[in-house]
Structure 1
Amino acid sequence: MLVLCHASDVPDGDARGFLPGPDAPRRIIVYRRGETYRAYLDSCPHYRAGTPMSWRADAYMNCDRTHLVCFAHGALFDLETGVCVAGPCKGRRLTAIALMLRDNGDLCVSVSEARQP
Structure 2
Amino acid sequence: MATVTPLFHISELAENSAKGLEVNQRKLFAVSSQGKVYLYENSCPHKGVPLEWLPDTFLDIEKQFIQCSTHGALFTIDQGLCIAGPCAGASLAPVACEIIDGQVCIRE
TM-score by length of 2: 0.91
Match of 1:29 in 2: 29
Q: Is the 8 A contact 1:7 1:107 kept in 2?
A: yes
Displacement of 1:37 in angstroms is 0.9
CA distance in 2, matches of 1:45, 1:82: 10
Match of 1:82 in 2: 80
**Cα offsets for 1:32-52 (capped at 9, x unmatched):** 1243111111000002xx110
Can you give the 5+ residue segments of structure 1 that lack an aligned partner in the other structure? Answer: 112-117
Larger strand proportion, structure 1 or 2?
2
Q: Is the 8 A contact 1:5 1:18 kept in 2?
A: no
Match of 1:100 in 2: 98
CA distance in 1, matches of 2:35, 2:64: 17
CA distance in 1, matches of 2:104, 2:19: 12
| Letter paired with 2:26 | P
Runs of 4+ residues deviating >3 angstroms? none
Can you give the 5+ residue segments of structure 2 that lack an aligned partner in the other structure? Answer: none
Q: Does 1:10 align with 2:7?
A: no
CA distance in 2, matches of 1:20, 1:40: 12
Displacement of 1:81 in angstroms is 0.6
Match of 2:41 in 1: 41
CA distance in 2, matches of 1:110, 1:43: 20
Q: Is the 8 A contact 2:33 2:77 kept in 1?
A: no
CA distance in 1, matches of 2:94, 2:40: 4
Q: Secondary structure at the match of 2:23?
A: coil
Match of 1:115 in 2: none
Task: Give the number of equivalent residue pairs.
Answer: 105
TM-score by length of 1: 0.84
